[in-house]
Amino acid sequence: MMSACKSEKDEYKKMLEFAKDYTAAWNSKQPEKMASFYAEDGSLVVNNKKPAVGRKQIAATAQSYMEAFPDMELTMDSLTVQENTYRYYWTFKGTNTGPGGTGNKVDFSGFEEWTMNDKGLVQKSVGSYDAEVYQRQLQDK
């Protein structure tokens, strides 16, 4: 029984490092670096929109945020685990000064629910954040 508990703790510690590195990849402003945390055929769905499938599409999704918010900063709030699914909680801050931007600052939180593959990469990420709060911050003057 102790070995299972130790094994779960070791796995969680490994995933905590993964999540910290994933956060750093977002903050590197290099979309391909962020996408490298996903399986080649991995997927990212945000707020039930059309999924980005494969690293190229996932990198394009990341790039859209990185371009819209050149000063973006992602922070990891926490990481939880339940039945082989990890939930990565984050806060995103930035100023919308990219092409066509409003110049407004945003500060919003959300999470991604990760299903990992056997190589330790994200196979499927289902993300969510309060889109109304985000839009209100973008539009408010």
Averaged over successive runs of 10 residues, the pLDDT of the chain (141 residues) comes to 63 95 98 98 97 98 97 98 93 96 96 97 97 93 62
pLDDT of residue 7: 81
pTM of the model: 0.92
Backbone CA torsion sign across 82, 86, 92, 97: negative
* Neighbouring-strand partners of residue 78: 89
Specify the pLDDT at position 53.
Answer: 98
Range of the structural domain that residue 98 is part of: 2-139
pLDDT at position 38 is 98
What's the confidence (pLDDT) of residue 3?
45
State the DSSP H helix or E strand holding residue 68, giving kind and residue range, or none if neither.
helix 55-68
Write down the pLDDT at residue 31: 98
Distance, first Cα to last Cα, the chain: 57
Enter the tokens of residue 60: 């394009």
What phi, psi does 58 have (nearest 5°)? -65, -45
pLDDT at 140: 78
Shortest CA distance to 93 belongs to which of 54, 129, 59? 129
Q: What confidence score (pLDDT) does residue 5 get?
A: 61
In total, how many domains does the chain have? 1
Asked whether 88 and 76 are in contact (CB, 8 A), the reply is: yes
pLDDT computed for residue 2 by the predictor: 44
The CATH number for 40's domain is 3.10.450.50
- Closest by CA to 34, choosing from 92, 80, 109, is 92
